[in-house]
Amino acid sequence: MAVRYKLTKINDNITSKEQVKYSVTTVSYGNVNLDMLAEQMVDASTFTYGDVKGMIENLTLLISEALKEGNTVTIDGLGTFSVTAQPNRDVEEPSKIRAESIKLKGIGFKPSPKLKDRLSDIEFTRLK
């Protein structure tokens, strides 16, 4: 099955040219959740559903703990997770930024070359 996409018009507010540009936005067929992945893994292995689900839940817990400790987490063949942060408010002087004024912005993910390679034959189809 091909990945669906749609075109989105982009307005150029930077230059004075009235040039229309388009961006590509992918459109999901749906979401594959933990239960679905666990079922697929059970079908492809000798593990039970409980074993697989428990291992994945434990893995997510261990990843979050490693990130909290200031580490990045690399899962070979998948990619690397890292924490991103930002100050609670705009600060003009670096001396005013303290650890207490920094919050979690998000979790970054960089796919591994192997994962990218596995997607090298991906196909796209335009959504009408």
pLDDT computed for residue 27 by the predictor: 97
In a domain, 76, yes or no: yes
Mean of pLDDT values over 6-32: 86
Q: Residue 96: inside a domain, yes or no?
A: yes
Distances (CA, A) of 116 to 86, 110, 113, 120: 29, 10, 5, 6
Mean pLDDT, to the nearest integer, of 37-66? Answer: 97
Q: Is the pLDDT reported for residue 21 higher than 90?
A: no
Asked, for residue 67, whether it belongs to a domain, the answer is no
Q: Is the pLDDT of residue 92 over 80?
A: no
Long-range contacts of 118-122 (CB under 8 A, 24+ apart): 122/2, 122/3
Is the pLDDT score of 31 beyond 90?
A: yes
Helix (H, G, I), strand (E, B) or coil at 110: strand
| Domain that includes residue 111, residue range | 72-119
Mean pLDDT over the full length of the chain: 92
Residue 93: pLDDT band (50, 70, 90) is confident
Which residues, listed in sequence order, are joined to residue 3 by a DSSP beta bridge?
124
Neighbours of 114 (CB within 10 A): 11
In this predicted structure, the answer to whether residue 30 has a pLDDT above a threshold of 80 is yes
- The answer as to whether 95 is a domain residue is yes
Strand-pair partners of 103: 86
**Domain-located, residue 78:** yes
**Listed residue (99, 60, 103, 101) closest to 81, CA to CA:** 60
DSSP code at position 18 = -
Domains in the chain, number: 1
